[in-house]
Structure 1
Amino acid sequence: MSSKRAEAQVLARAFHDDPMFTFIAPSADRRRRVLPWFFGAALRLGDQQGRVDTDAGRAAVIWLPPGRTSLGPGALLRSGLALAPIRLGPSAFGRFTRLTSAFEKSAATVHGTTYWHLFILGVDPSVQGQGVGVRLVAPVLAEADAAGHLCYLETLSERNLAFYQRLGFTVAGHVTAPGLPEFWMMTRAPRTD
């Protein structure tokens, strides 16, 4: 299995029961089929637009750096994410679009224009809680600190809040909107110590 395919499988396992994807694709069988494709495209996007770091088939993180956080049509085409309407199906794509539009609208109020976007962090369920995710995000957090850049993320899982707070993130907003799952926006100011 190729490295990128293995990384996509890790992310698919990590996010299989995540509230974002259970909302988008309620059927567990459908998620098993579509998430490897989705995360393969997301990894290509990360390689093209930003930075991807992995831990030997156990975890992967995708960062979008300052100045490259907006995803235009070209980036979506090159990565393959432009096929989402077909691959996800009309209903799931509609839910995906409503949710990601809510992310964009809400996030604009909290992160400013110069920030690192922690786009995706997934750790295989078999090794969660062992520090793999912390080690994987550390290099970009250090780079952001050195450059004086904010870091930003959104999560739909309340249990993730404590993990990110240990890394220095704080809740910048909590969104509850009719017809959508709740989500939290978190920011991390650069550390100078």
Structure 2
Amino acid sequence: MSTIESPPRGVPRRPARPDTDDLAALLAAAFHDDPLTRWIIPDGRRRAELLPGLFRIFVEVSHDYDGVAVSPCGDAVMLFLPPGASKQVDERAEELERRFAEALGEYAEPLGTIVRLQAERHPAEPDHYYASFGAVRPSRQRNGLLSVLLQELIDRADRDGCPAYAEASSPGGEALCLRQDFVRLGDDIVLPDGGPSLRPMWRDPR
């Protein structure tokens, strides 16, 4: 049971670090059949074993920059980086490479390929919010929970006068971004050897 006091209904809560394992498990379940994770870890059993450890890293890094938003029900999470944080994360490349290797073992190399290709295409300027991962518990999907979290992030970006950036890994993710006035930013990021693709998306502040 979480020790975090529940916020008013409709207000996303910022979880403390004790929630990290729960959020990593939620992300792992939501992304178990995602084309990117299937490309990284083709075997379904190994994917289920390893993804929680991988997503724990992403949750912890997002926590470092106050970049974790959770729906009041706890069934949806969005990880993001505020303006300027992406550059700081880039400076942690060696640390993160080591942690990814510890979490994934033999499967760290394909993840490294994704990270490298993302870095090559990530906009350097202007400073922006980066929506890195959004997930909904499988049993609660298609209920608009992620839309609410993305709307909160967009509202924050608009208040700050900052753009927002995301990479859609599925048609559903792209549709969600398009509803929030994101537009395609250049060509898709295509993974080698017939792998899936990521679609860079950009939104100017309103």
TM-score when scaled to structure 2? Answer: 0.82
- Which of residues 176, 182, 185 in structure 1 aligns to 2:190? 176
Aligned pairs for 1:15-54 (under 5 A) are 15-54=31-70
Q: CA shift at 1:54, angstroms?
A: 0.9
Query: AA paired with 1:67?
Result: G
Indicate if the aligned counterparts of 2:127 and 2:162 stay in contact, CA closer than 8 A: yes
Are positions 1:160 and 2:160 aligned together? no
Q: CA shift at 1:128, angstroms?
A: 1.4
Q: CA shift at 1:151, angstroms?
A: 0.4
- Which of residues 27, 44, 50 in structure 2 aligns to 1:11? 27
1:149 aligns with 162
1:80-106 CA distance string (max 9 Å, x none): 77321122113x211111111111112
Structure 1 residues 120 and 106: CA distance shift in structure 2, 3 A: same
Indicate if the aligned counterparts of 1:118 and 1:152 stay in contact, CA closer than 8 A: yes
- Which of residues 57, 67, 82 in structure 1 aligns to 2:98? 82
1:159 counterpart SS class: helix
CA RMSD of aligned residues (A): 2.0
Query: AA paired with 1:161?
Result: E
Indicate if the aligned counterparts of 1:50 and 1:68 stay in contact, CA closer than 8 A: no
Query: AA paired with 1:25?
Result: I
- Which of residues 102, 105, 108 in structure 1 aligns to 2:117? 102
Query: AA paired with 2:192?
Result: P
Q: CA shift at 1:72, angstroms?
A: 4.0
Of 132-141 and 58-67, deviating more is: 132-141
Structure 1 residues 72 and 103: CA distance shift in structure 2, 3 A: closer
1:69 counterpart SS class: helix
Q: CA shift at 1:74, angstroms?
A: 4.5
Q: CA shift at 1:43, angstroms?
A: 1.0
Unaligned runs of 5+ in 2: 2-17
TM-score when scaled to structure 1? Answer: 0.87
Are positions 1:93 and 2:108 aligned together? yes
2:12 aligns with none
Indicate if the aligned counterparts of 1:114 and 1:150 stay in contact, CA closer than 8 A: yes
Are positions 1:68 and 2:81 aligned together? no
Indicate the percent of aligned positions where both proteins have the same amino acid: 26
1:14-38 CA distance string (max 9 Å, x none): 1111111111111111111111111
Structure 1 Cα separation of the partners of residues 90 and 191 of structure 2: 25
Structure 2 Cα separation of the partners of residues 63 and 166 of structure 1: 18
Structure 1 Cα separation of the partners of residues 60 and 190 of structure 2: 31
